[in-house]
Amino acid sequence: MKLLSVVAALSAVGSAAAFAPSPMGAGRVSTSVNMAAEEFYIDQDRRNLMNLILVGSAAVTVGGLAVPYIAFFVPPGSGAGTGGIAAKNALGDDLFTKDYLASKPVGDRSLAQGLKGDATYLIVKEDKTLEAYGLNAVCTHLGCVVPWSSAQNKFMCPCHGSQYAPSGAVIRGPAPLPLALAHCDTGEDGKIMFSQWTEEDFRTGKKAWWN
């Protein structure tokens, strides 16, 4: 009888446990974890997208600022390989060989706008023609514009005393190099044309330093 009582008690306990409710928080916790994981993946995708947009915007901004900054340091075209550029007066008008020579005396050295916009001397020879080269008027010491002294028959820089011969060769420092050369010709339309001097500097017998 005692054995039957023990068996009956165990059966009752088992039956009761079968109908006992499961813990209320377990399902909710599992669901919350799953939802949080989904939200995490969604937020990560959004974060990646925002990072791409941010990087792209920064690249466009930096590029927009860098291009003109770099272009500032790139010198404008000198006209080399394109037949040269027309010499211009102080008003920006093209100079014509015939009219120019008619208005200038023999030995004249007057300024015109040359390659890269630099002031460049046009030289009238003894036979009343233009010299085959123009002289860049920028001093090779510190960049002052060097005036021509007809009384001294040489170029004399007022800034630091450099002096140049009529050909632009250095005859007194501190200028370390001669004045730069440019070819000077007459175009088919009669205009005075400057073009890049790329060959040897005839005054020094060396490669042109300005190239």
- Mean pLDDT, rounded, for 169-179: 95
Is 90 exceeded by the pLDDT of residue 184?
A: yes
Instruction: Tell me the range of 5-9, 50-54, 188-192 where mean pLDDT is highest.
Output: 188-192
- Please tell me the predicted confidence (pLDDT) of residue 120: 97
SS3 of residue 64 by DSSP: helix
Is 60 exceeded by the pLDDT of residue 21?
A: no
Q: What's the predicted TM-score (pTM) here?
A: 0.61
Q: Is 161 left (phi over 0), alpha (psi -120 to 50) or beta?
A: left
- Mean pLDDT, rounded, for 100-104: 96
Query: What is the chain's mean pLDDT, rounded?
Result: 79
Portion of the chain with pLDDT greater than 70, in percent = 66
- Mean pLDDT, rounded, for 154-173: 95
DSSP 8-state code for residue 96: B
Q: Residues 161, 164, 166, 167: what is their CA dihedral angle, to the nearest 10 degrees? A: -160
CA distance 66 to 72: 10
Q: Which of 12-21, 94-103, 194-203 has the lowest mean pLDDT?
A: 12-21
- Please tell me the predicted confidence (pLDDT) of residue 28: 53
Strands (E), the chain: 85-86, 109-113, 119-123, 133-136, 148-149, 154-156, 163-164, 170-172, 181-186, 192-196, 200-201, 206-207
Closest by CA to 144, choosing from 120, 121, 160, 166, is 160
pLDDT digit string, tens, across residues 35-78:
555 555 556 666 777 777 877 777 667 666 655 545 444 444 33
